[in-house]
Amino acid sequence: MTSAEIIEIEQKYLAPTYSRPPIVLDRGAGVYLYDMEGKRYLDFIGGIAVNSLGHAVPEILGAIAQQSAKLMHVSNLYHTAPHALLAKLLVDNAFPARVFFCNSGSESIEAALKFSRRWANSVGGEAKHEIVSFEHSFHGRTYGAISVTAQPKYHEGFKPMLPGTAYLPFNDADALDAAISEARTAAVVIEPVQGEGGIHPAQADFLRRLRQLCDERKVSLIFDEIQSGLCRTGKLFAYQHFGIEPDVMTLAKPLGGGLPIGTVLMKPHIAETLNPGLHGSTFGANPVACHVALSVLTKMIDERIADRAAASGEILKTKLRHLQNQFPDIKAVRGLGLLVGVEFEDKVEGIVAACRDRGMLIGSAGEKVLRLAPPLVIDPSHIDEAVGILGDTLADRKA
C-alpha cells in the first residue's frame, strides 16, 4: 500500500484526536527513521522521549523474542520473575521503595495520587486530601492527571475537573508556604523539568524548600519523571540533580524501549498503607514489557548512558546558542541533558514542518518552543546534522 492509502484509511477509521503530518513511518534503525517511500529522518524527538536507546536495538529485540516465546501474560494474580527483578533493579538504583507497575505515564500518575491520598488519609483523615501542582505542568490525559495538569487548554470541554486540587506558580518558593497545609494537603506533584509547559527545569532552592515543607507538614512529594527520568537529563533520575528525594516517583516513557509500561516507586511509609485489592492493573507488570524494561535499564546503567546524555546535551545547547547569536528570534535555549527547549518569538509549527521536509523530526512544547528529545545515544555528528538542518531552516525563514 502507499502512504496516501494508509492516511486515507486512518482518516476514515481513527478517532480524530491527533493532527499528523503527511508521512507514514515504516521502520527505524539507530537514530534514524524511514518512511514508506524510503526517505530518511534524523529522529530528534525520540517518540516523545521514549526511544532513548534508538531504534531496532539488538538487546531490546532479543528481550522481546526471548520473553514472548516463554510467557506473554498471566495477570497480576500470579508471581513472575521479570517484574520482581525489574523492581529490584529500580529500587537498587533509586531509593528505598516499593514498586507498582502499570501501562502508561497517565496510569502511573493516577496510582501515585491514589497512594498518596491513601497515606494522607491514614495520618490526617479525609480532610487531608488536596493535591497541589504547578502552572504550566503536564501530567497526562486521564481525569486525575488532567485535573492536576495546570494548563486550562487541557480542561476545555471536560470540566468540572476533579475537586481537591490547587495550582501554584512554578519555581516560586514564596508561594509554597501558604498553600501547603498539614491539615489539608495530601500531596504535591511536580515535574523536575516541565515538559509540555516549555522545557523549564526546576530551581534547586525551590525544590529543596518544597521538600522541607513536605517533611514538616506530612505531605507526600511526588516527582513526575515520566519524561525526565531514566538518563534523559544527564542523571539516571532527574531528582539526583537536586540533592533531595521524592516520596513517590513516576516513570514510564523510555523504560519499555517502545513497549508500554508505567511505574510508581513509593517510599515504605506510603507503601505500608496499601493492601491487596486497593489498586490493580490487568496488564500491569506484563512479563514481556518488564523483561524488556530490565534489558533497557541494565543497558542504561552498564553503558553509563546518563553520562553520555549529559555530555551530548552540553554540546547541543552550546551549538544551539551559536544559532541564537545568528537568529535573534530565538529567545532562549534551556534544558537538562538531552531534554532541550528552544524558545522563539513566534509560533514554531512552521519550523517543525520545514525541518521534517529537510529530514529531521522534532517536536514542540507549547506554541513557541521547539522540543528536542533525541535518542540518548546520539554522537557529535548527529548533533551537527540536527543543528545544520535547523540553521538552514531558520535561514530560509529569514530570507
The catalytic position among 100, 224, 237, 267 is: 224
The catalytic position among 253, 267, 299, 317 is: 253
Cα 121 to chain centroid distance, Å, stands at: 28
In the numeric block, the cell 529522529 is attached to 43
Quick check: 76 and 276 in contact, CB under 8 A? no
Q: How far apart are alpha carbons 250 and 223 in whole angstroms?
A: 6
**Using the 8-state DSSP alphabet, how is residue 45 labeled?**
S
Known catalytic residue at 347: no
Q: How far apart are alpha carbons 387 and 102 in whole angstroms?
A: 37
Q: Is 150 exposed, middle or buried (0-12, 13-18, 19+ CB in 10 A)?
A: buried
Known catalytic residue at 237: no
Q: How far apart are alpha carbons 80 and 18 in whole angstroms?
A: 36
Quick check: 194 and 136 in contact, CB under 8 A? yes
- Outline where 219-274 has alpha helix (H): 268-271
Element (H, E) at 283: none
- Outline where the chain has alpha helix (H): 3-13, 46-49, 58-70, 81-92, 105-124, 143-147, 176-179, 204-216, 268-271, 287-302, 305-326, 349-357, 380-398
For helices 287-302 and 81-92, angle between their N-to-C axes, nearest 10 degrees: 30
List, edge to edge, every strand of the sheet that includes 248-251. 98-102, 262-266, 248-251, 220-224, 185-190, 130-134, 165-168
State how beta strands 165-168 and 130-134 pair: parallel
The catalytic position among 44, 100, 101, 138 is: 138
Known catalytic residue at 134: no
Phi and psi for 344 in degrees, rounded to 5? -115, 165
Q: Hey, what's the torsion of the CAs at 110, 113, 114, 117, to 10 degrees?
A: -170
Active-site residues, by number, are 138, 224, 253
